[in-house]
Amino acid sequence: MDTLTDDLCYQALKTRDARFDGRFYTAVLTTGIFCRPICPAVTPKRGNVRFYPSAEAAMANGFRPCLRCRPEAAPGSPAAAGVHATLARAVRLVEEGTLDTNSVSDLAERLGITDRYLRQLYKRHTGVTPQQHAQARRLLRARQLIVDSNLSMTEIADIAGFGSLRRFNHSLKEAYGDAPTVYRRGLKQPTRNTTRRAPNDPFQPARDDLVLVLQARPPFDSKALLAFFRARAIPGLEAVGDNYYARALYIQGQSGLMICRPRADQPGLQVILRGPARQAILEVSGRVRRLFDLDADLPTIADHLSQDPLLHPVVTQHPGLRVPGCWHRFEFAIRAVLGQQISIAAARTLAGRLVACYGTPLPEDLVDGTGITHRFPEPEDLAGQPLNTLGLPHQRAETLARVATLFAEPGFADLNGSTLLEQLATLRGIGPWTLSYLALRGLGDPDAFPASDLGILKAASQLGGLTTPKALIRHAECWRPWRAYAAQYLWAALATHSLRQETTP
């Protein structure tokens, strides 16, 4: 498990240290059960435990998940999500179900590597093969949907990829020892929406909505995330209030409305899905985890960055600060280009015009009262359009058209991050700042760093006298591999001290 030794894991287990939740799992030889480090059960003897880097690895070795601490609800493993860019993409694709219909060789080809190397990467960082991960993840997700959603068993069997209710019941009984209905009755019943939402509160769950709970690795500053999204919300596409983020979506050929509400009882989100797109809940939940950066190992990141005297006061002042992600690479690429050299408010206005002109309208009964009217246009909707009618400078409109044409090519949006950035860099109008910002939020690169950003430079100057991109880049070497989080702290420092230079779309 890379940086975690068995002795360190056992110490974390004895103290039930929440910072390690999702980073390892404890399997007890005498019971055949595996748990999260925060499990309230009696700590087993040292000689009776084995440690695994993922829940999938524990299941592949014959252990069953604990009914008490529920490993399937733990935050995602940072080992699988951030150590290796290719592995991170592979894990995302497997968890979105790509191996339900494709082979490991197909997955490796999509990633641009050999299937042998993919298996080696997987085994080294997660402890299992891609197929074992897919099988265990299907079981874990099914159990999470049983406990944390309001779906019926038939819906869960279909969404989790079991093909039939009979196979679903057999697989879960074999894996967990009981039929699904047995342990749904034995745990807290998920919230059921028996009445329609109030007309004046369209952001609460309605009777036919799908509701799912997602946990975040603590600490989790949901207010900072909502403030960030609120300042950049595109009119007609998104709505952000004090306790919700809502947006239109189009996924797996279906439109829908998504509402994310921070939980009051523990770090995490309540995700509400409305409309036909609710069938894509597994892919939606994966996107939400990246959008809100739910799986970041913030204690480790904060400890590393706070060793630098320049960042120490900012890190201390902002516990739980996340790097906001994006919903889709194409959407974010367009947003980044629109925001070049203008304020956040101006970028919002332009993006709102683009959505109103080229986005697809949503059914009124789906979005009634939300202020949301359209979903974001697809690449083919923008390619070849006269985008200068939006009020854009001619060259900016041409850059947008070129980006849309590139994303309209089959498979472009799924390229690995470095290849995608290399191809975008060939386009006129795409400079270093745009590429760095796209890597930071659009691709989720934890070490991306837009050193030329005026806001970052202003904050660095105020905090430590670093006034040029070259000086800042040299200093930022000590922040690796978490420079994206350092950038977020610098933007936060700028806002805190009322020094905001609105340069980030």
- Residues annotated as part of the active site: 35, 453
Alpha-carbon distance of 120 to 129, in angstroms, equals 8
Alpha-carbon distance of 147 to 183, in angstroms, equals 8
Alpha-carbon distance of 259 to 273, in angstroms, equals 7
DSSP helix/strand/coil, 5 = coil
**Residue 130 · residue 90 · CB < 8 Å:** yes
330 sits in which H/E element: helix 329-338
Q: 22: closest CA among 215, 260, 210? A: 215
Q: What distance lies between CA 212 and its chain's CA centroid?
A: 15
Per-position DSSP letters for 75-96, written without gaps between them: PPPHHHHHS-HHHHHHHHHHHT
Sheet strands (E) in 99-253: 210-215, 238-240, 245-251
**Residue 99 · residue 131 · CB < 8 Å:** yes
**Residue 262 · residue 269 · CB < 8 Å:** yes
Instruction: Name the pairing type of β-strands 33-35 and 210-215.
Output: unpaired
Alpha-carbon distance of 120 to 130, in angstroms, equals 10
Joined together, the tokens standing for residue 88 give 């991170």
**Residue 51 · residue 127 · CB < 8 Å:** no
**Residue 248 · residue 265 · CB < 8 Å:** no
- For the chain, what is the largest distance between any 2 Cα atoms, rounded to a whole number of angstroms? 70
Alpha-carbon distance of 460 to 440, in angstroms, equals 18
